Amino acid sequence: MCGMSAHSIIASVAGALPEHCYEQAEITETFAQVVLPDGLPGGGPQARRLLRHFHAASRVKTRHLALPIWRYPQLTGFTDANNAFIEQGMVLGERAVSDALGRCGLAPTDVDVLMTVTVTGVSAPSLDALIHKRVGLRPDVKRIPVFGLGCVAGAGGVARLHDYLAGHPDDVAVLLSVELCSLSVKADSSLPYMVATGLFGDGAAAVVLVGERRAAAMGLAGPTVLATRSRLYPDSERVMGWDVGSDGFRLVLSPSVPEVVESHIGDDVKGFLHDHDLGMSDISAWVSHPGGPKVLEAVQAALGVPADALAVTWRSLERIGNLSSASVLFVLHDTLRDVPPPAGTPGLMLAMGPGFCSELVLLRW
């Protein structure tokens, strides 16, 4: 493989899920009260039947929610929901970072850089500052709060911290993703929104990346990040994202997402691998963001891989839903825990998100 000089090591990955876990059918009935309240234009019995259909077709069986399920019909607006994001985000963020550091034997004071990504709540000071003391980080830790990358930010965050560590090979960097998607649920009878309320769940995940000199000095092992690639697709700004208004975040989700993915991701991956003297058949494990069933089917078709190549991602979608940027990090965790690929073989992490865009991360197991 050519063109690869500076490497970074993924020393550990940890996920943190809220304690409130529910079967999909129970979430459907509760969210129907919020999404399609009595009197909403476009609501009514037919709309509720559609919502139930979309939720049942999502391939999601259970999801974790930031709040007890009975709290959602009581949320009074964006301020109430965002306050819950900050409160629960601190709890889950602290747990994810602490667990990830503990798993690879590093102390909070070893961390030189903390990047925090989210697209489901806002806070100033940002979450990284709010959990700083709770985790025990150094006063001089470099903080990089990132908002707006959406589902792509898990892979994108790994990529950008790898870029940083290429120039700081003695440093330790942590990526924290906190996504509490359920807190954006509101009255909206549009079909894309009904689909989305059946897919998205809540959770946080943290990844510890270590520069190659620091990893060698400490004897730290894990997947090696070899290279990254970013793609921003033209004229796709309204494919996915948020409209932000007086009632907070309102979802933008075009039905064309699977088509955009299938149109671009195959050639992007093939070109990226070719530039590193690799082909599709060389990849021993695909670490893909789940999106939803149609998106995953589009990824599978574009890559030309068999159904079981994305089995870990399908299981993650079924067990916890789509956690936006945290999802691909849970898939990475599950890949390493459940089906560790052969040592020395290449792997690929990929995710898509608002922009519309993709991030590719080449790994060596």
> One of 104, 151, 181, 357 is an active-site residue; which one?
151
CA angle 116, 119, 122 (to 5 degrees): 75
| Helices assigned H by DSSP within the chain | 24-35, 45-56, 78-103, 127-135, 153-167, 191-196, 212-218, 257-274, 293-303, 311-320, 327-338
Q: Which residues, 6 or more positions from 135, have their beta carbon under 8 angstroms from its beta carbon?
A: 94, 97, 98, 108
SS (H, E, C) 63-109: EEECCCHHHHHHCCCHHHHHHHHHHHHHHHHHHHHHHHHHHCCCCHH
Burial code (b: 16+ CB inside 10 Å, e: under 16) for 30-66 equals bbbebbbeeeeeebeeebbeebbebbeebbbeebbbb
151 catalytic per annotation: yes
Here the tokens at position 82 are 């965002």
Integer angstrom CA distances of residue 294 from 96, 113, 174, 298: 30, 36, 32, 6
- What is the Cα–Cα distance from 350 to 331, expressed in whole angstroms? 11
The C-alpha atoms of residue 51 and residue 36 are separated, in whole angstroms, by 9
Rounded distance between C-alpha atoms, residue 156 and residue 353, angstroms: 10
Which sequence positions are flagged as catalytic? 151
